[in-house]
Each structure stands twice: as C-alpha cells, then as structure tokens.
Structure 1
Amino acid sequence: MEKALDKFFHLTEMGTNVKTEIVAGLTSFVTIAYILAVNPSVLSAAGMPEGSVFTATAVISIIGTLMMAALTNYPFILAPGMGINAYFAYTVCLGIGYSWQVALAAIFVEGVIFVILSLTNVREAIFDAIPFNLKYAITTGVGLFITIIGLKNSGIVISNESTLVSMFSFHGSFVDGTFTTYGITALLALIGIFVTGILVARGVRGNILLGIMITWGLGIICQFTGLYTPDPAAGFNSLLPDFSNGLAVPSLEPTFFKLDFSNVFSFNFLMVVLAFLFTNLFDTIGSLIGAAAKADLLDKDGKLPNVKGALLAESLATMFAGLIGTSSTATAVECTAGIAEGGRTGLTGVVVAIMFTLALFFSPIFLAIPSFATAPALVIVGFMMMGSVVNIDWGDVTEALPAFIAIVSMPFMYSIAEGIALGVLSYVAINAFSGKENRKKISGVMWVLFFLFIFKYCFI
C-alpha cells in the first residue's frame, strides 16, 4: 500500500513519506475545520438554512481538495473562502437585496467564467494587469471588512445613531436586564478574541478552531450556571448540540440546484459577478503563491509549475459550489500549517478530504456553535489578511492613495465591491493626471474597468 501511494503521489521524489503526509493532512484539517462552523453562520445571515450550508461546505471542500490533488499533486486545500462568503451575505443579499438564490447564480456564472479563463492564459493576464499595490490593498480591505462583521456579529460593536457605531455597553446591559443574553455573549466574544490571539502568538496548531471551541465551551458553562439564558425569539439559541435526530447528515435539498437566473442580464448582476470574480482571483492567486513558496514549489523564476491545473481545480470547485449551495471556493491559506508539517503532495489533500467526510456526520456539534464563538475567528483571519498592508509602497502617492481608498472603503461602506471599484477609479484618475510616466502604468484592462465603474455610478 505504501509503495503504491509512493508511486502515485511521487512521495520519495518530493522528499516526503506516507506518515508525514498523513500528519500534514490532519494538521491542515484542524486549522481549516473552523470553516464548517463559520461558513453556515455567515451565510445564514442571507437566509440560507444552516444545515444545508454545513453539508454544502463540507462537500465542496471534499470535491475541490480532491480535484486539486488530482490535477496538481499539490498539498493545497480548497474550501469556501472567507471574505467571499461575507460579501455574498452582507453585500449581495442584505445590501443590494438579491435573494441567496440569485447570489448562487452569480457564484455559478463566476465559476464558468473562471473555467474559461483558466483553460487559457487570460486569468494570469488579468491578474498581472492589476497593480500589485492595489492587490495588497484589496486583501487588506477584505481583512478589515471581515473584522467588522465579526465584531458586529458578536455584539461587541453596535449601531449608534450619533456615532454610527460604538462599543456595546456592558454596564447598560446590567441596568436593562439584558446581560444574560446580549451582554454575556459580547463578553465571551471579547474573551474569545484574546484567547485565540494568545494561541496564535504561541504558535499552537489549530489555534483558530481551538479558540472557537474554548469560547463555545465557556458559553456552555455560562448556560449551565445561568449566566447565559437562551432566548430563541431574540436569536439566542441553546448552546448544546441537538442529537435528537442522531448523527444524520443535514440534507442538501434546500440549497441544491436552487439557482435563480432571473437577474442574469441586469448590470447589477454583472457587477456582483465581477466583484466575486476579482475578489476570488486575488484571494486564490495570493494564497497559491504563499503556500507554494512555503512548500518550495516555485521554480527559479518564482512561478508555480502547473499553475493552470491549480486554477482549473479552483474554478471547477467554484462552479460546483454555486450548484450545491455555498459561496465560491479559494485556496485556503491555512494549508500552510500542513505544509509546515512536511506536506508536499496531493496525499495531504486526500487526508483532508477524508476528514471533511467524517465531519459530515457530526453536524449537530458544528451547527450548535454560536456566532459569538465564531466571531473571534473572523477577527483573527482579518488580522492575518491585514499583514498585506506592509507590502504597499507608501512612499509613492500614485500607488498608496488608491490603495488607501480601496482599504478604507470596504469596512466603512460595508462593501468589498465598492472598495474594488473606488480603488480602480482612483488609481486610473490619479495616475492619468500625474505625468506621462505614470500614465504608462495604466493597463488597458484598468481603463476598461475604469469606464465600467464610471458607467455603474452614473447610471445604476
């Protein structure tokens, strides 16, 4: 068996073995398993049934990761991307007002476009056309966007008429008698952020998932001691898993093939697809490069061999994600944890896929995890994405100002799409009027996007 695996995955050639790959796969799964709790929590805000989203999340992670292993023999994991799911729920559905069925149609269309682009060199060409500083800005902005969503979902940050937002008043919750619901959950989320941060700082494997579990565990203790009082009508459910239906896998039927193409020819739908397209493009390429560099898979020119296979796997997975009922997939940056353990081949991904399959049968556990326990994960992932800000050339105003505009637009306008649009518009406008040399930096693709966004703001 070991010899067959060695031959199929070229283990010896890649300087690894079966045991190392299994350990790497288990490590990668532990670091990414939080998506099974976070993705249903995020997409449920759009009205999607959590049970179906849980199953869809696991299934697409299995399919995507296996395709990545088969097409590339790389130790990369494909799972619903953080940031894309937030845009799906909070901008497309709650912001623009589209139903989640229409949003799934946009995910599917994005996947089809990605497949077409991945079969050619167009996808890489599009990526190359966007200025590096703007790419880093988008990643940073998405991190801030995810962070504010986590803080709002936890109740730590609340709406305020005079200042737009403010911190939750723990003293006020004692006075009005809401501490056992609103107050304690906000406090637990705050504690969870600190606990997860400490785990990250200490380099504990599976720190994000462990942070979720510790926060959830503290919540269960609070429920048993009366500090937390379930109030389903107000959105505060019991924190205990419901095993009344056993360990049955939640049905996919409520979301499976529920795509709505009724708005497919509208300009707003096109903008949503483009927002998905560009956000996912940056996320995937960036994660691929980062993971490949950590695994020493880049060639002497800094390129990833068989990158087309990796992009095709991600594109097909995104298309299937729309069909079965979840947001689009991306290469999970968390797979670098498995790579750090020595994972170098697709066998690492196969192990991860097996673990996702087993996780399907424990849905009551994952679905009982409350939003205040997953909020720390959103904040910490936002922190990790924020690191891209140091790569921006702050000494060049023509690069830094558009980057800054893109970054601040996403959290303050509560929209990734607006950040991308304003980043592109400001980049083209500033460089177009800053001298001949700066005008040369503007690619044809950027000009096309510039006029497309102008049209959107003038006529939509």
Structure 2
Amino acid sequence: MTEFINNYFKIKERNSSIKTEFLGGLLNFITIMYILVVNPSLFAHAGMDFGGVYLATIGAIVIGCLYMGAVSNYPIIIAPGLGINAYVVYTIIEAMGYSWQSALGCCFVASAIFLLLSMTSFREQLINSIPECLKVGITSGIGLFIAFIGLKNGSLVIANAGTYVAIGDMATPATALTAVGVILTLVLTILRVPAAMLLSMLILTIIAYLAGMLQMPEHFFALPTGIDTTVGGLELSQVPDMIPIVLVILLVTMFDTTGTMIGLAKQAHLMKGGVFPNLRGALMADAFASFWGTLLGTGPSSSFVESSAGIMSGSRTGLTAVVTGLLFIFMIFLFPIAQAMAAVPSITAPILIIAGIHMFNEIRTLEWDKERIMFPAVLTCVMMPLTYSITNGVAVGIISYVILNLAARKREDIHPLLYLFAIWFLLDFLKII
C-alpha cells in the first residue's frame, strides 16, 4: 500500500514523504475549517437553510480536494470562495432582489461554462483577455466589498441618514465583540500563529458564551437538517435575464482561482521553467467543485491561499489535498456547534474583514504611475463596495479601460474580447438589453 501511494502521488520524486503529506493535509484542514461556519452563515442571510448549505459546503470541499489531489496531484485546497459567494448573497439576492434559487441558477450556468472552458485552452485565453490592472482592481475591490460586509454584519459600520454610513456603538456587546475579534485575529496573524482565523473564532465563541450572547446546543454531535431544501434547489428560468451576472461570476471565479494556484505552485517549487505542469488538470478541480457545489446548494468554489500552510510544512503532492478532503467528511457530525457559532454574527464578521484585507493587499502591485492603467483599476475597486455590486465594478472598470486606452492610442493593449465586454456592459447600463 505504501509503495502504491508513493508511486501514485510521486512523493519521493517531489522530495517529500507520506508522513509529511499527511501532516500537511491535517494542517490545511485546521486552517480552512472556519469556512464551515462562515460560508453557511453567508447564505443563511439569503434565506437558505444553514444545515443544507453546511452539508453543501462540505460536499464541495470534498469533491474539489479529492479531484485536486487524486487527479491533478497538487497540495491545494478547493472550497467555496468567500468573495464570490458574498457577491451572490449580498448583491444578487439582497440588493438586486433575485431569489436564492435564481442566484444559484446563475452560479450553476457559470460553473457549467467554467467546466467546459477548463477542458479547452479557451479558458486561458479568456483569462488573458483581462489586463493585469483590472485583475488587480477586481481582486482588491472584492476584498473591500467583503470587508465592508463584515464591518456591517458585526455592527462596526452602521447606516446613517446624513453620512450614509457611520461607526457603530462600541458600548453594545455585539459591536465590542467584533472589534475584539478583528484585533485578536490581526495579532494572531501577525504573530504567524497557525490557524489564526479558526483560533480567533474559538476564542470569540468562548467570550460570547460567557457574555450570554451564545446559546450552546443541546447536542454537540448531530447530522445537518434541511438538506432537502437546498440540494437541487436552483432555478434556471430567470438566467436569460441575468447574463451580465453570469459573465461576472465566470470571469471572477476563473482568474481569481488561477492566480492563487500559480502563486501556490511557485511556493511549492512545482513550476518548471516558469510553466505550471498539468495546469488544465488543476483548473478542472475548482470548476468540477463549483459545478457540483451549486447543485448541492452553495456558490462557486476556488483555490484557497491557506494551502500555503501545508506547503510551508513540506507538502508537495496531491496526497495532502486528499487527506484534507477526507477529514472534512467527519465535520458533518459537528453541525450543531457550527450552527451555534453562526448564530452570533460577531464571531464570523472578523473573518470576513480580515479575509477582505488580505484580498485588498493585491492593490500594492498596481502600476500607479500609468494613469490609463491606474484609473480603471481604482474605479473598479471603489465601485464595488460603494455600489454594493461586483458587477458594477467590473463593468465600470472594463468600459473605462477601453475608453482610456483608445484615447491614449494604445489599441494594442486592448484584447478584442474587451470590446465585446465593454459594449455589453454599456448596453446593460443603458437598459437596452
């Protein structure tokens, strides 16, 4: 058996060991465990059953990690993406008024297209059509967007008639707990404490319980409820009227996860001559997980930067991802604990805020001295939280990029597909389509 595992995952060839790969999988499991509370709590805001989304989240993780590990042989975690799922919940459902069934229908169509494109080279061409500055603007904008959602959910930012937004009342328990959570998570992160986000959530749970804000479940172990309300609950009837939304989900999911994968492969020294071996196979993992995840009852999946925890410990093969995926199966029975933690928004809000800050960090790579590049990127970034829509940010960014580069006579920097995207979004803004 040991010989088979070594040969199948090429463990010795990549200068690793079975023990190292198992420990890396366990470490990745611990660092990403917070997603089982945060992702279902997001969709609970949209009226979905927490238990159903909890099981769908586990299903998507298991499918994605097993595919990434057993088929693609990379130590990379695949799980439902917080950025894109926050967009699904707070923009498509909450702000635009679509039902969660129709929103998941859009995610399913985008994921199906995503899966088909991943089988061809067109996915890479589509990713390359988006200029680097807009990728930076979109990633950073999504970071601001989910950080803003975390601030709002944790009552650190509240609505105000005069100034639109204002700081929350620090004397209230919920706001104070969120503030403590943000500081605690940042300190643990800066100190490089393993599983900082999970540890922070556990500490906040204890504080909330002692403060009388959290009611512990009667039973710590039980199977999720409400599964039948989410599995296969998506609807496709409104999708033809939501094509711009489908396009945004497709674009954001594609290049977000691609960038993360390439970065992790570099960290693990798996790149060969600057080339990502078996890139198509790796890209198939998140597409496969997204497709089945939407059918189970959650949003699109993505590769997670937390995979670096296992990589830093020496993981180099897909056995790490397989171990991570298998460990999540046992989390099905801890559903009552996750549900109790999610009932207190101040426990999960700091995670959204810190995750958003991490994504916003990408803005540092922008070429600030080139105005035709800088302006579209910044417009993309700020329009997302200020209009409460990733779609608006992407649309404004693409339209402004095309116009400014045409004005600067830099037509060679505009991919032909960008003209189509710009025209489509402009017509959508003008309500012509």
Structure-1 residue corresponding to 2:327: 355
Is the partner of 1:298 in helix, strand or coil?
Answer: coil
Q: Which amino acid counterpart does residue 275 of structure 1 have in structure 2?
A: V
Matches within 5 A, 1:16-415: 16-170=16-170, 183-223=172-212, 228=213, 238-243=214-219, 246-266=221-241, 269-300=242-273, 302-369=274-341, 370-415=344-389
Give the C-alpha shift of residue 264 in structure 1.
Answer: 2.3
Give the C-alpha shift of residue 271 in structure 1.
Answer: 1.2
Are the counterparts in 1 of residues 54 and 224 from structure 2 also a CA contact under 8 Å?
no
Are the counterparts in 2 of residues 406 and 422 from structure 1 also a CA contact under 8 Å?
yes
Give the C-alpha shift of residue 249 in structure 1.
Answer: 3.5
Structure-2 residue corresponding to 1:233: none
Are the counterparts in 1 of residues 169 and 175 from structure 2 also a CA contact under 8 Å?
no
Q: Find the aligned partners of 1:248 and 1:169 in 2 and give their Cα distance.
A: 38
Q: Which amino acid counterpart does residue 392 of structure 1 have in structure 2?
A: L
Are the counterparts in 2 of residues 32 and 334 from structure 1 also a CA contact under 8 Å?
yes
Are the counterparts in 1 of residues 144 and 360 from structure 2 also a CA contact under 8 Å?
yes
Is the partner of 2:45 in helix, strand or coil?
Answer: helix
Q: Which amino acid counterpart does residue 421 of structure 1 have in structure 2?
A: A
In the TM superposition, structure 1's runs of 4+ consecutive aligned residues that sit over 3 Å from their partners are none
Q: Find the aligned partners of 1:446 and 1:392 in 2 and give their Cα distance.
A: 20
Alignment equivalent of 1:418, drawn from 381, 386, 392: 392
Is the partner of 2:334 in helix, strand or coil?
Answer: helix
Q: Which amino acid counterpart does residue 254 of structure 2 have in structure 1?
A: L
Q: Which amino acid counterpart does residue 36 of structure 1 have in structure 2?
A: L
Aligned length: 430
Are the counterparts in 1 of residues 52 and 224 from structure 2 also a CA contact under 8 Å?
no
Q: Are residues 453 and 313 of structure 1, via their aligned partners in 2, closer, same or farther at CA, if it must alter by over 3 Å?
A: same
Q: Find the aligned partners of 1:100 and 1:331 in 2 and give their Cα distance.
A: 24
TM-score normalised by the chain length of structure 2: 0.97
Are the counterparts in 2 of residues 43 and 89 from structure 1 also a CA contact under 8 Å?
yes
Q: Which amino acid counterpart does residue 376 of structure 1 have in structure 2?
A: P
Q: Find the aligned partners of 2:223 and 2:378 in 1 and give their Cα distance.
A: 48
TM-score normalised by the chain length of structure 1: 0.92
Is the partner of 1:166 in helix, strand or coil?
Answer: strand
Give the C-alpha shift of residue 251 in structure 1.
Answer: 4.5
Give the C-alpha shift of residue 64 in structure 1.
Answer: 1.1
Is the partner of 1:155 in helix, strand or coil?
Answer: coil
Identical pairs, percent: 38
Are the counterparts in 2 of residues 318 and 328 from structure 1 also a CA contact under 8 Å?
yes
Are the counterparts in 2 of residues 27 and 338 from structure 1 also a CA contact under 8 Å?
yes
Are the counterparts in 2 of residues 65 and 350 from structure 1 also a CA contact under 8 Å?
yes
Is the partner of 1:133 in helix, strand or coil?
Answer: helix
Give the C-alpha shift of residue 3 in structure 1.
Answer: 2.2
Q: Find the aligned partners of 1:303 and 1:48 in 2 and give their Cα distance.
A: 42
Give the C-alpha shift of residue 442 in structure 1.
Answer: 0.8
Is the partner of 1:253 in helix, strand or coil?
Answer: helix
CA deviations on 1:88-137 (whole Å, 9 max, x unpaired) are 10011011111111111111111110111111111100111111111011
Q: Which amino acid counterpart does residue 379 of structure 1 have in structure 2?
A: I
Are the counterparts in 1 of residues 76 and 264 from structure 2 also a CA contact under 8 Å?
yes
In angstroms, what is the RMSD of aligned CA positions? 1.2
Structure-2 residue corresponding to 1:175: none
Give the C-alpha shift of residue 2 in structure 1.
Answer: 2.4
Q: Which amino acid counterpart does residue 109 of structure 1 have in structure 2?
A: V
Is the partner of 1:330 in helix, strand or coil?
Answer: strand
CA deviations on 1:63-98 (whole Å, 9 max, x unpaired) are 111011122100111100011110110011011111
Q: Find the aligned partners of 1:406 and 1:107 in 2 and give their Cα distance.
A: 22
Q: Find the aligned partners of 1:362 and 1:329 in 2 and give their Cα distance.
A: 22
CA deviations on 1:32-67 (whole Å, 9 max, x unpaired) are 111000001111111111111111101110011101
Say whether residues 1:429 and 2:403 are aligned partners. yes
Are the counterparts in 2 of residues 139 and 282 from structure 1 also a CA contact under 8 Å?
no
Q: Which amino acid counterpart does residue 419 of structure 1 have in structure 2?
A: G
Is the partner of 2:393 in helix, strand or coil?
Answer: helix
Are the counterparts in 2 of residues 107 and 321 from structure 1 also a CA contact under 8 Å?
no
Are the counterparts in 2 of residues 242 and 368 from structure 1 also a CA contact under 8 Å?
no
Structure-2 residue corresponding to 1:178: none
